[in-house]
């Protein structure tokens, strides 16, 4: 692949990947810490892997509450990072780095699929860069199991479909290997594609029947998935299938914050329009078989999303995740649409100028490929204008986020300094506000009584700070074995103060 790319094209590719890095990293220009509560949670779980028993006990508790507890593969990757790096300090770089790797995976796939068409592959990277993020749908602004899985999703879908089409068993085995890696890392990133993979198996059923013994090996996927689910959650055999069936029905309310999402939250309207043009161009040029993946993929997810709005249930993967998986299917279609549009405009402009410049010649030969200098200049100027207009249209709303889905800071700089002070004290359980509580273990190594979503019962925190008198506060401190309380305001109780700076007060208890 590299030999067929010129130095100029290599420069363009680096520029495109650099754009991805800049866009994804840009929210961190003014904030050096992880944004999303999920990010703090994954840092906590990766550090906990050092105490294996505690980690798996927490995993079972969380997985029983939310399917997202089954992500120990992702935690293991972060655990490896934590051997040599301070996760809290370097986490801000991980979303941007992984987005670049995902863009590179997409470029590779499109480049191979289009017979080394660099500019169509490069445009796919540009449209990929325009995919948006917010705290509800998540996305590349946050380093989570979803974003970690994205380059692998591109690769296993490509290897599987291309392997079937070209009868390349090595590709199919490569897809199987990636899927097996994703099952303990982010199972949903495999489950969502179940019908996509089955569709291609049905289309290629003759090849599969001829190689039935080879394809029996794919039964390892559901077997590994079910066994992983059973032993991770410690589900009894008699309850396993009913438990699993219930778990893959993601009903309204699965998300911590349910909103009526708009398609523009994750992708630009211009991107959708070019994707539609791309679909029509594929149909018009009769290349459906070649690019069938990018037709089946969005079609199935659109059906899933419609069914969710009708029934309130999203099967196989949550509605919010389906929204993002759908967006991942569009960059190639958008690139194909814009590329086809650009070729169409250049073709008819060239024909127009050729006819104009030869209308008195007595003969017209539209097969002539030599343009006049004026024609070339005009074509290049028009192309540049269309490219600039496209870039403006797909990136203009990149930073627009609905108010209820805006980025938030779990802690600020002063809170961080407070926790650094706490880190130097003897270990003990801590009560703080729910958002700060999510950051306590990653920064200090101390356990919070509860946080906003993943640990404990946050009603205890609410009662402690909002409703209880000093006597009740003392009961909570005793019942929860609390050693420290971090409060943003004086508690007006006879508690020992050991820190009072920058808007935070730390109380200590024996």
Asked whether residue 406 is assigned to any structural domain, the reply reads: no
Asked whether residue 250 is assigned to any structural domain, the reply reads: yes
Q: Do 128 and 162 belong to one domain?
A: yes
Q: Which residue range is the domain that position 357 belongs to? A: 335-399
Residue 207 sits at φ, ψ, to 5 deg, of -65, -40
Q: Do 123 and 247 belong to one domain?
A: yes
pLDDT value at 358 more than 80: no
pLDDT value at 367 more than 60: no
Q: 329 near 297, Cβ under 8 Å?
A: yes
Least confident of 9-23, 134-148, 289-303, 452-466: 452-466
Mean pLDDT of the chain: 82
pLDDT value at 67 more than 50: no
Q: Report the 10 Å Cβ neighbour count for 439.
A: 25
As a whole-number percent, the residues of the chain with pLDDT over 90 amount to 27
What's the confidence (pLDDT) of residue 272? 94
Nearest residue to 464 via CA among 478, 443, 444, 446: 478
Asked whether residue 277 is assigned to any structural domain, the reply reads: yes
Helix (H) / strand (E) element for 64: namely: helix 52-65
Q: Do 382 and 442 belong to one domain?
A: no
What's the confidence (pLDDT) of residue 68? 47
Give tens-digit pLDDT for 7-27.
Answer: 898 999 999 999 999 999 999
Asked whether residue 439 is assigned to any structural domain, the reply reads: yes
pLDDT value at 256 more than 70: no
Mean pLDDT of 74-97: 88
Look up residue 293 and give its two tokens. Answer: 């993946």
What's the confidence (pLDDT) of residue 369? 46
Q: Do 349 and 317 belong to one domain?
A: no
Least confident of 4-13, 191-200, 321-330, 353-362: 353-362
As a whole-number percent, the residues of the chain with pLDDT over 70 amount to 84
- Domain boundary (278, 308, 331) is at 331
What's the confidence (pLDDT) of residue 296? 93
Asked whether residue 197 is assigned to any structural domain, the reply reads: yes
Q: Do 87 and 181 belong to one domain?
A: yes
Q: Is the dihedral of CA 85, 91, 94, 96 positive or negative?
A: negative
Mean pLDDT of 318-338: 90
- Domain boundary (331, 349, 377) is at 331
Q: Do 37 and 127 belong to one domain?
A: yes
Least confident of 55-64, 101-110, 495-504: 55-64
Alpha helices in 317-469 (DSSP H): 319-328, 330-357, 373-395, 413-423, 434-444, 458-462
Most confident of 229-238, 311-320, 329-338, 456-465: 329-338
Mean pLDDT of 58-86: 70
pLDDT value at 83 more than 70: yes
What's the confidence (pLDDT) of residue 65? 45
- Domain boundary (331, 359, 382) is at 331
Q: How distant is the alpha carbon of residue 6 from its chain centre?
A: 31
Q: Do 344 and 303 belong to one domain?
A: no
Q: Do 374 and 421 belong to one domain?
A: no
pLDDT value at 59 more than 50: yes
Report the predicted TM-score, pTM, of the whole model to 2 decimal places.
0.84
Give tens-digit pLDDT for 220-236.
Answer: 777 776 766 665 666 66
Q: Do 65 and 126 belong to one domain?
A: yes
Q: Which residues lie closer than 8 Å to 200 by C-beta, 6 or more apart?
A: 160, 161, 164, 292, 293, 296
Mean pLDDT of 120-144: 90
What's the confidence (pLDDT) of residue 1? 45
Confidence category of residue 244, pLDDT binned at 50, 70, 90: low
Q: Do 130 and 30 belong to one domain?
A: yes
The rounded distance, in Å, linking the Cα atoms of 129 and 19 is 7
Q: Do 308 and 356 belong to one domain?
A: no
Asked whether residue 426 is assigned to any structural domain, the reply reads: yes
Q: How distant is the alpha carbon of residue 2 from its chain centre?
A: 28
pLDDT value at 293 more than 70: yes
Most confident of 59-63, 104-108, 452-456: 104-108
Q: What is the CATH number of the domain that holds 437?
A: 3.40.50.12610
Mean pLDDT of 279-283: 92
Give tens-digit pLDDT for 450-486.
Answer: 887 777 777 888 888 877 788 888 888 888 888 898 8
**Gyration radius (Cα) of the chain, Å:** 27
Q: Do 351 and 491 belong to one domain?
A: no
The rounded distance, in Å, linking the Cα atoms of 143 and 138 is 9
The rounded distance, in Å, linking the Cα atoms of 349 and 340 is 14
Q: Into how many domains does the chain fold?
A: 3
Q: 295 near 263, Cβ under 8 Å?
A: no
Asked whether residue 408 is assigned to any structural domain, the reply reads: no
Asked whether residue 315 is assigned to any structural domain, the reply reads: yes
The rounded distance, in Å, linking the Cα atoms of 37 and 452 is 8
The rounded distance, in Å, linking the Cα atoms of 405 and 146 is 18
Least confident of 58-67, 358-367, 385-394: 358-367
Least confident of 55-64, 136-145, 241-250, 409-418: 55-64
Q: 433 near 465, Cβ under 8 Å?
A: yes
């Amino acid at each position: 692949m590299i030999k067929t790319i010129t130095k100029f094209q290599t420069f363009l590719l680096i520029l495109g990947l650099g754009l991805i890095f800049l866009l994804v990293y840009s929210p961190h220009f003014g904030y050096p810490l992880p944004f999303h509560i999920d990010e703090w949670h994954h840092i906590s779980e990766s550090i906990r892997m050092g105490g294996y028993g505690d980690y798996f006990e927490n995993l079972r508790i969380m997985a029983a509450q939310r399917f997202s507890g089954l992500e120990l593969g992702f935690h293991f990757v972060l655990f490896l990072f934590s051997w040599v790096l301070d996760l809290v300090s370097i986490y801000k770089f991980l979303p941007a780095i992984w987005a670049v790797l995902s863009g590179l995976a997409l470029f590779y796939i499109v480049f191979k699929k289009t017979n080394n068409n660099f500019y169509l592959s490069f445009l796919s990277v540009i449209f990929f860069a325009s995919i948006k993020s917010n705290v509800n749908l998540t996305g590349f602004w946050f380093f989570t199991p979803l974003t970690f899985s994205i380059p692998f999703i591109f690769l296993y879908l490509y290897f599987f479909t291309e392997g079937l089409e070209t009868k390349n068993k090595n590709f199919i085995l490569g897809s199987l290997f990636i899927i097996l890696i994703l099952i303990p890392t982010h199972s949903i990133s495999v489950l969502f594609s179940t019908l996509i993979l089955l569709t291609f198996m049905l289309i290629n059923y003759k090849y599969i029947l001829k190689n039935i013994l080879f394809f029996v090996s794919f039964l390892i996927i559901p077997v590994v998935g079910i066994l992983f689910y059973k032993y991770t959650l410690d589900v009894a055999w008699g309850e396993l299938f009913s438990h699993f069936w219930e778990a893959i029905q993601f009903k309204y309310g699965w998300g911590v914050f349910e909103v009526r999402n708009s398609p523009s939250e994750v992708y630009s309207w211009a991107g959708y329009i070019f994707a539609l043009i791309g679909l029509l161009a594929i149909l018009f040029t009769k290349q459906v078989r070649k690019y069938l993946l990018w037709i089946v993929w969005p079609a199935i997810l659109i059906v899933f999303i419609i069914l969710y709005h009708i029934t309130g249930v999203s099967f196989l993967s949550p509605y919010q995740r389906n929204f993002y998986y759908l967006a991942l299917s569009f960059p190639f279609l958008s690139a194909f649409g814009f590329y086809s549009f650009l070729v169409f405009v250049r073709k008819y402009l060239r024909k127009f100028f050729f006819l104009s410049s030869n209308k008195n010649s007595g003969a017209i030969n539209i097969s002539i490929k030599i343009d006049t200098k004026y024609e070339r200049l005009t074509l290049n100027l028009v192309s540049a204008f269309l490219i600039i207009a496209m870039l403006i249209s797909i990136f203009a709303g990149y930073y627009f986020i609905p108010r209820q889905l805006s980025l938030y800071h779990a802690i600020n700089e002063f809170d961080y300094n407070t926790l650094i002070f706490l880190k130097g004290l003897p270990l003990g359980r801590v009560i703080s506000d729910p958002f700060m509580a999510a950051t306590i273990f990653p920064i200090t190594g101390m356990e919070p009584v509860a946080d906003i979503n993943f640990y404990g019962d946050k009603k205890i925190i609410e009662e402690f700070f909002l409703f209880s008198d000093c006597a009740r506060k003392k009961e909570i401190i005793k019942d929860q074995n609390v050693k420290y309380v971090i409060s943003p305001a004086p508690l007006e109780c006879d508690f020992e103060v050991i820190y009072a700076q920058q808007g935070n007060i730390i109380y200590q208890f024996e």
